[in-house]
Amino acid sequence: MAEKIIIYDTTLRDGSQGEDISFTLEDKLRIAVKLDEIGIDFIEGGWPGSNPKDMHFFKEITNYRFSNAKISAFGSTTRPGIEPAKDENVKFLLKANTEWVTIVGKTWDFHVKEALRTTLDENLKIIESTIKYLVKAGRKVIYDAEHFFDGYKANQEYALKTIEASINGGAEIVCLCDTNGGNIPSTIAKIIKDFKKRFSIPFGIHAHNDSELAVANSLVAVENGAIQVQGTFNGFGERCGNANLCSIIPNLQLKMGKKVLSEDNLKKLRNVSRFIFELANLTPAKNQPFVGDSAFAHKGGIHVSAINRNPGTYEHIQPELVGNHRRILVSDLSGKSSIYFKAKEFNIDIDTKDPVAKEILNKIKELEMQGYQFEGAEASFELLMAEIMGQRRKYFELMGFRVIDEKRKEGEMPIAEATVMIKVGGSIEHTAAVGNGPVNALDNALRKALERFYPELKEVKLYDYKVRVLGSDKGTGAGVRVLIESGDREEKWGTVGVSQNIIEASYQALVDSIEYKLYKEHKKRRRT
């Protein structure tokens, strides 16, 4: 049986420290659910002592049941001169109430003296006592040996003593960190071999990408015995980012024969990558290996000719293995497979020879040209498929809406009011509502008009709202894409709208959100 490699995801903590990345609490919860669904082993939820949002995450995550992932809280060792029981950071770690805790400690003597400003012996005591206290409190501890490789090169004996201190404290796994991202694979391999001569504890690797080697360094660590790899989706992280799990996972599984994810979950890798890009409000990197749009795109005449004969001529793996697809840039000849996959996921029956699949594909391409993206907006995608297949009911008809955003004087917040006129069956409803902004007012007015006919809409809550500017070179005349997350007592769903008018884009996403609730309730009733 293939050796199992533990994947430890730190997108929600280390990844969120990247420039231009800011996850809301709802983003973090949605990402955690997505990571669990594909079989990620550990999810580092954040640093509960650093900010209220992370503390709220650990509180809210207790309402979720995970099938695969273990949630870990992250924090540092106690401060010099303070006992673990009195250290606020440690107290917050215990309040996070996770089975696993990841503790980072100083390994490099340079950092002990300059950053921690204490003695080398005191640092050893800090590491051991912090971990021992957490273990005694019932936590399982992963020890992140910060700057281990640089520390080893500077003072080999001391770096190893810090590892010994963590083991004496009761750490279950030691993670060796290339925190500055400046080491090369041969150095990583040599130091790990020396580490293994002294210790038999299970160990992992945490690499940063400052030398564009984080993935390579992670893989060589596994080749030399690491059983855990820490990284982030899409390589998000400080400076140049962390080791990219979107590359590490398929390399481990497809190239090195390690057990990481199930085959079905590996096929969801691209989907999860783009989902996280969307929630980060960033444009997916086209040239990202394995999962990027260009990873299996072919343009040169010689390439295209060879690919048409045998894809193996210019592709190192089958793109479908990671949920991607081949693209011929002159004339795109593929894409149906993803339609069939999504149809199956949504319990929509499409025969492989059904021309409707081609129609869905063409419609998606047309919408994507306008700026639509369906990653993070699965509900809109399902409604689109149902509409083309004639399975989408029209629950109401818009007769018109008006939104007024009025600011009466300087220093006061604007007043937003929306008026909506809709037709349901033979009845016309004309209502108005206020809100803390034009979109909120429009949402309130729509709900007010529809809840008389569809009382189940009272269960629907709007959890998140995002706007992405499309074609920023056009300034304030640019189009926008609006992504909305809604939910009821059973699930959450995402919807999307695109327009040059932000209110119209928001309306599209709001209507999809409402109609998806009605659509799924209708499907539920048909099944019973």
The tens digit of pLDDT for each residue in 47-67 reads: 998 889 999 999 999 999 999
Q: Tokens 């006592």: give the residue.
A: 129
For 153-158, the CB contacts below 8 A with 24+ separation are 153/187, 153/191, 154/108, 154/109, 154/110, 155/108, 155/109, 156/194, 158/109, 158/120
Beta partners for 208?
242
Q: Looking at this protein, which amino acid is placed at residue 346?
A: F
Instruction: Classify strands 479-487 and 492-499 as parallel, antiparallel or unpaired.
Output: antiparallel
User: pTM, whole model, 2 decimals?
Assistant: 0.76
* pLDDT tens over the chain, length 528 residues: 578 999 999 999 999 999 999 999 999 999 999 999 999 999 999 999 888 999 999 999 999 999 999 999 999 999 999 999 999 999 999 999 999 999 999 999 999 999 899 999 999 999 999 999 999 999 999 999 999 999 999 999 999 999 999 999 999 999 999 999 999 999 999 999 999 999 999 999 999 999 999 999 999 999 999 999 999 999 999 999 999 999 999 999 999 999 999 999 999 999 999 999 999 999 889 899 999 989 998 876 577 667 777 889 999 999 999 999 887 653 333 355 556 656 666 666 776 567 777 787 788 778 888 888 887 788 998 899 888 888 888 999 999 999 999 888 888 888 899 999 999 998 999 999 999 899 999 999 999 999 999 999 999 998 889 999 887 666 667 789 999 999 998 888 999 999 999 999 999 999 999 999 999 998 888 766
Torsion of Cα atoms, 175 then 176 then 178 then 179, to 10°:
50
Return the pLDDT at 234.
98
Structure tokens belonging to residue 212: 């564009």
The 10 Å Cβ neighbour count of residue 50 is: 15
Q: What is the DSSP letter of 351?
A: -
Q: How many CA atoms lie within 13 A of 385 on its CB side?
A: 22
Structure confidence at residue 503 (pLDDT) = 94
Residue 3: which H helix or E strand, with range?
none
Number of C-beta neighbours around residue 329 at 10 A = 12
Domains of the chain (ranges; CATH) run 6-279 (3.20.20.70), 297-370 (no CATH)
The pLDDT of residue 330: 36
Q: How far is CA 97 from CA 12, 57, 128, in A?
A: 17, 11, 21
As a whole number of angstroms, the longest Cα–Cα distance in the chain is 83
Inter-axis angle of helices 52-60 and 88-95, to 10 degrees?
Answer: 30
Order of strands across the sheet that contains 427-435: 397-406, 415-424, 427-435
